[in-house]
Structure 1
Amino acid sequence: MEIIMHLSKENVTNVRAQATKGLIYVKSVMGYKQLDPLLKN
């Protein structure tokens, strides 16, 4: 979440970045689930 907020803060004026942020969030969540067996229920 810290990374997502940082990206949102940096690109708050960049409309395209806001759209990309969603993809980054999804990829981050999916990657995190793959790395952490506890979240991969």
Structure 2
Amino acid sequence: MASVVIAAAGNLLLPIYYSGYLNPAKAVFIAYKRSLSVRH
């Protein structure tokens, strides 16, 4: 279970980390979309 949480956190943080330099709003949008897909 812990590995799943870590993997999910990595999927959320990596797009923010990389695209945040280019477009912070896009990074937030990506994180929002991914968080919705994780909950469902």
**TM-score if structure 1 supplies the norm length?**
0.42
Instruction: Report 1 or 2 for greater relative contact order, CA contacts < 8 Å, sequence distance ≥ 6.
Output: 2
More helix by share: 2
Q: Of the two, which has the highest radius of gyration?
A: 1
